[in-house]
Amino acid sequence: MLNLRSFFSGKPVPAAEKEPNEAGLVSFRRRLAELALCFAGGGCFAAALPPLNFSVLALVALTPVIAVAARSRWRFAALAGYAWGVGWSLFAFRFLREIDPVIPFLMPWVISLWPACWAACLPFLWRNTLFPLAIELDGYEARKRFLTEPAAFGRLVLFAFGAAALYTLFEWTRSRLFPWNDLSVTMWRNIPLLQIASVTGHYGIMFVPAFFGAALAGAALTRFRLAGVKLLLLAAALFALLHAAGLLLYTHHAKTEEPNWFPVLLQGDISQRRNATPAEADEALDIYAALAREALQGEVRPDIVIWPESAVPVPFRAAHPISAKFRRTVQSLGLSYRVPMLVGAIDFRDPLPRDGSTPQVTNSALHFDRSGRLVHKYDKIHRVPFGEYIPFRELLPGFIIDRIDMNRDLAPGTNFNPVPLGENVRAGVAICYEGIFSYLTRAFALRGANVLVVLSNDAWYPTSSEPEQHLANAVTRAVETGLTMVRCGNNGGSLVVLPTGEITQVLEVPGAEKRLELRRGRGILPVRIHVPEQPEKTIFVRFGEWFVLLLGIGCAAWMLFAVEQFIRRKRHLRSLTVNQPTKEQ
């Protein structure tokens, strides 16, 4: 039977002490308090994200779990990391209740494995990098004294850097699956700090609060003696220095140039209609057609009309009466007003099958010329898992499929080429969820895109903070690529993000929330922006995730040093055991 006191303390219980005693109870309560503190740290992380946006809490969010994990055995450290992850994800992903009330309570148990694995590494690295071998061999009291000495400063810096770097690397692995709401998102309104994303990508932004939190944990573990205070001052100096560097980058990027591209964005404020009736689909088409006519009948003729993702809930090229009306409407608008359009729509993968088999369905952006003819098509590349397809469908049991299946598996696109939306306008088009993936927008920029266009539809989440979180996760893509982002949403979030990360030209909706991220409603947004013919490629676009590679090399060297220290200590202890005289001698 599992002895809880043994598990939580990480130490075996002597045979004579199997029964609970006062010391064991105190230890047990202390461990519970530490887990609660780690959970609260995760909650601080969630509070630093939208909708609360208490971004200063991000600087201390990692402190409890690092301080607790570093001085524990690896099992309890992993548990501390897990508690921290639950505290973060339980609140940060609460918006998923609008899909299914169960999801916010199931998701933390999976996604918390990442911080648990990260925290499990910290005890080994704390003991084997922070303390010189002689100090380590002298025992607990010697280690305790060493932390109060000035000589500990260099090793504390190494540990804080390593803990932050390792956290960033674990988050990099998570970003391959679900990058939503990482630590960099807490800084989405910090315009000076955002600028370093043009150099390092968003991982550089993530590293800054992680290092500050690790430094604060290191200072706390030294009881704020000289070495710990110096470490904290170093973290504060780094924070200030990066802000100063960000201001310099901002002055370089914040150039006011004459607008040369005039798109107009349509926001129909249509409720979620994935399984729409013909009447609902027809209503959506009529609303967007009316908005398009209103936009085109103004005094200034736009360069293009942009519709949001899946504006009309029927496949564009399906053999359905509403689909046929959809095609006629788009062609009629083009012929009547001689203005191109970019329309978010469900479509089929080309070429369409000729044998009568079911075509592959895609989530697409369709580009029509001035005559209403389809000339370019972008198919969504990075699909939403469990929303647009089910990963490993063939391996999952039937009862799970029945619970999560949304009756569609959309086919992924494969083409990263920009869509030519006008003279010298080459748009990297991202659809909804794709706008949070830096590898996609970087690929568009590498292939010559000079503007980003995001078509979105957050109608799945009519009452939660998801639309604001979605925007916060996407803002950094503009800074990373140095390209203006034009964002067209169905029920909110229609706006422009400048290459500096500043949000401007927001759709004004009478009676809507004052906070721009929550301005749900129906309307049109004429946009005037400058699109450079040959934009300067940022360091991130040219070299990609070099910062992550650098952190990986640093962590590998750190780990090798720790392993070497561990082996030397074990050898020394073994030699002492071998050379110890026996009683017979």
pLDDT of 18 strictly over 50: no
Tell me the pairing of strands 304-306 and 341-348: parallel
Residue 378: closest CA among 452, 476, 293, 278: 452
pLDDT for the residue 401: 67
Residue 375: closest CA among 334, 322, 416: 334
pLDDT of 1 strictly over 50: no
Q: Tell me the average pLDDT across 108-135.
A: 90
Q: Tell me the average pLDDT across 557-583.
A: 77
CA distance 78 to 236: 28
**Residue that wins the pLDDT comparison between 341 and 406:** 341
CA distances from 546 to 42, 114, 406, 434, 525 (A): 28, 22, 38, 22, 38
Q: Determine which helix (DSSP H) or strand (DSSP E) holds 227, and give its type and residue range.
A: helix 226-253
Read off the pLDDT band of 462 (50, 70, 90).
confident
Sorted by sequence, the CB contacts under 8 Å of residue 30 that are 6+ apart come out as none
Q: What are phi and psi of 409, to 5 degrees?
A: -125, 100
Out of 50-64, 404-418, 430-444, 546-560, least confident range: 404-418
Q: Identify whether the C-beta of residue 503 lies closer than 8 Å to the C-beta of residue 496.
A: yes
Residue 292: closest CA among 303, 281, 282, 306: 306
Q: Is 250 helix (H, G, I), strand (E, B) or coil?
A: helix
pLDDT for the residue 218: 93
Please write the tens of the pLDDT for every residue from 240-265.
999 999 999 999 888 778 999 999 99
- 261: β partners: 529
- CATH class given for the domain over 263-390+399-540: alpha beta
Within 10 angstroms of residue 32's Cβ, the number of other Cβ atoms is 12
Instruction: Kindly report the average pLDDT of the chain as a whole number.
Output: 88
For residue 243, give both structure tokens: 């802000």
Sorted by sequence, the CB contacts under 8 Å of residue 133 that are 6+ apart come out as 565, 568, 569, 572
pLDDT of 514 strictly over 70: no
Read off the pLDDT band of 5 (50, 70, 90).
very low
Please write the tens of the pLDDT for every residue from 516-558.
556 678 999 999 999 999 999 999 999 999 999 999 999 999 8
For residue 122, give both structure tokens: 């910290």
pLDDT of 440 strictly over 50: yes
Peptide linkage before 123 cis (omega within 30 of 0): no
Residue 304: closest CA among 369, 365, 359, 349: 369
pLDDT for the residue 4: 45
Q: Tell me the average pLDDT across 220-240.
A: 93
pLDDT for the residue 8: 43
Out of 202-206, 256-260, 477-481, 580-584, least confident range: 580-584
CA distance 16 to 145: 32
| Domain limits, the chain | 22-253+547-576, 263-390+399-540
**Percent of the chain topping pLDDT 90:** 64
Q: Identify whether the C-beta of residue 292 lies closer than 8 Å to the C-beta of residue 333.
A: yes
pLDDT of 12 strictly over 90: no
Q: 346-363 burial string, b = 16+ CB within 10 Å, else e?
A: bbbbeeeeeeeeebbbbb
Q: How many residues does the chain have?
A: 585
pLDDT of 273 strictly over 90: no
- 495: β partners: 487
pLDDT of 20 strictly over 70: no
Read off the pLDDT band of 61 (50, 70, 90).
very high
DSSP 96-163: GGGT-TTHHHHHHHHHTHHHHHHHHHHHHHHHHHHS-HHHHHH-HHHHHHHTTSGGGHHHHHHHHHHH
